[in-house]
Amino acid sequence: MKITREKVVAIHYTLKNPEGQVLDSSDGRDPLYYLHGFGNLIPGMEEGLEGKTAGEKLQIKVSPDKGYGELDESLIQEVPLEAFGGNKPQVGQQFQAGNDEQRYIVTIKAVGENTVTVDANHALAGVELHFDVEVMEVREATQEEIMHGHVHGPGGHHH
């Protein structure tokens, strides 16, 4: 059975940056299950898996525009240190920002004497992603999975 829209797919993967550093992997864990064609993976990953079958091993290269987007310089800002309420933030620290309508993760990039540089880009924005993937299983999705837009049962969401 080929991977197409409305199929449940199980994959093992290793994600590396262009320098070959491992950023994430399912190694030693259960496979990742997802419902194909419902935006549950980044677009470049779904496109790379389209038409594949169980047992296939492949490498997928995903450009930033099909991954986590290009780096948006307008999302990098300097804010006054005093905005942190007397707590000295650390480089690499993350926190949620935004309002009731939109929440996002912000990462501290630099801490100066009076200012803090924050970055609201996704950590992998602007990065070409390299995936080593093994397709473990492909099956028909249930009507309930299709209605809900995600996998249910083993390896998926339980209601």
Pair 22, 56 in one domain: yes
Pair 11, 64 in one domain: yes
Pair 64, 79 in one domain: no
Pair 86, 136 in one domain: no
Q: Kindly give the confidence (pLDDT) of every residue in the chain, 159 residues in length, as a single tens digit, with 9 standing for 90 and above.
A: 999 999 999 999 999 999 999 999 999 999 999 999 999 999 999 999 999 999 999 999 999 999 999 999 999 999 999 988 878 899 999 988 878 888 888 999 999 999 999 999 999 999 999 999 999 999 999 999 999 999 987 655 555
Angle at CA of residue 3, ends 50 and 8, nearest 5°: 125
C-beta separation of 64 from 70 below 8 A: yes
The DSSP result for 41-84, as a single string, is: S-HHHHHHHTT-BTT-EEEEEE-GGGTT----GGGEEEEEGGGG
Look at residue 49 and tell me if it is in a domain.
Answer: yes
Pair 87, 60 in one domain: no
Rounded Cα gap, residues 87 and 106, in angstroms: 16
Token couple for 116:
């803090």
Look at residue 153 and tell me if it is in a domain.
Answer: no
By CB neighbour count within 10 A (0-12 exposed, 13-18 middle, 19+ buried), where does 118 fall? buried
C-beta separation of 9 from 3 below 8 A: yes
User: Which CATH number do you get for residue 51?
Assistant: 3.10.50.40
Closest CA to 55 of 10, 25, 21, 100: 10
Contacts (Cβ under 8 Å, ≥6 apart) of 41: 34, 49
**Number of independent structural domains in the chain:** 2
Range of the domain at 141: 7-68+126-148
